Amino acid sequence: MKKQSDDSKENRAESNSKNHAPVNRRDFLKTAGRFLALSVLGATFLKFIKLKSPVTVWQIDPKKCIHCGLCATECVLNQSAVRCVHDKDVCGFCKLCGGYHRPNASRLDTAAESQLCPTGAIQRTFIEDPYYEYSINEDLCNGCAKCVKGCASFGNGSLYLQVRHHICAGCNECRLAMKCPAQAITLVTTDNAYWKEEG
Ligand code: SF4
Ligand code: SF4
Ligand code: SF4
């Protein structure tokens, strides 16, 4: 009698598992499907919001900059995120470069004592008499603006300072912007990230 009852319990369990297993799998797949659809919808929505919200970066307006030198010392990073940029379309390729040579240099050569840049970040290459090309090694530049001032005073103004966005920490309040005496540093949207001379 006991064996009969055990057998019937086993049968019921087996039948239950046969009846319920497919339903559970279906439910599981349905739930997983809904979860996946919701995740995809959520990700798409976030992407949409990101695309819609304007992203901003700090930018220097070279026309306002008065080359005060604070960009080299006031950035929160050890080596300032501000570096010198050279617009070669504007450069005169001059033999005597106001951004490269010290005003009192006795010779117009590449000797260290002839150079204005304190870190040797400007490279001078002979093109043909009397033209020379000047290139900035941004890794060495500290944004001191000495060359920018020299070029603005004696040259075409092809050297200027800019916040390099791949280095900048993107502080909510840029310490340079707060300290800049010329209010030359402002937030702009990323589609205008780098200043470019108009026309
Ligand atoms: S702090 Fe302002 S004025 Fe001074 S070097 Fe930087 S951008 Fe130019
Ligand atoms: S003079 Fe100053 S701003 Fe110009 S390249 Fe050298 S370190 Fe940079
Ligand atoms: S936002 Fe911060 S890291 Fe970038 S230039 Fe300004 S102070 Fe330097």
Select from 184, 192, 151, 160 the least CA-distant residue to 54: 192
Considering the domain boundaries, does residue 197 fall inside one? no
Ligand 2 close to Cβ of residue 121 (< 6 A): yes
Question: Tens of pLDDT along 30-55?
Answer: 877 787 777 777 676 656 555 556 79
Do 136 and 42 fall within a single domain?
A: no
Question: What whole-number distance in Å separates Cα of residue 156 and Cα of residue 130?
Answer: 16
Question: Tens of pLDDT along 53-81?
Answer: 679 999 999 999 999 999 999 999 999 99
Look up residue 157 and give its two tokens.
Answer: 């103004």
Q: Residue 82 in contact with residue 60, Cβ under 8 Å? A: yes
Q: Residue 136 in contact with residue 82, Cβ under 8 Å? A: no
Do 139 and 123 fall within a single domain?
A: yes
Our mutation pick for probing the ligand 3 site, out of 58, 59, 70, 71, counting the most ligand atoms within 8 A of Cβ, is 58
Residues 183-199: what's their mean pLDDT?
A: 85
Ligand 2 close to Cβ of residue 82 (< 6 A): no
Ligand 3 close to Cβ of residue 58 (< 6 A): yes
Domain assignment of residue 84, given as a range? 56-192
* Nearest atom, ligand 3, residue 82 CA: 5
Distance 82 CA to ligand 1 centre (A): 10
User: pTM for the complete prediction?
Assistant: 0.76
Do 77 and 175 fall within a single domain?
A: yes
Ligand 3 close to Cβ of residue 70 (< 6 A): no
Distance 67 CA to ligand 1 centre (A): 5
Do 96 and 42 fall within a single domain?
A: no
Do 33 and 69 fall within a single domain?
A: no
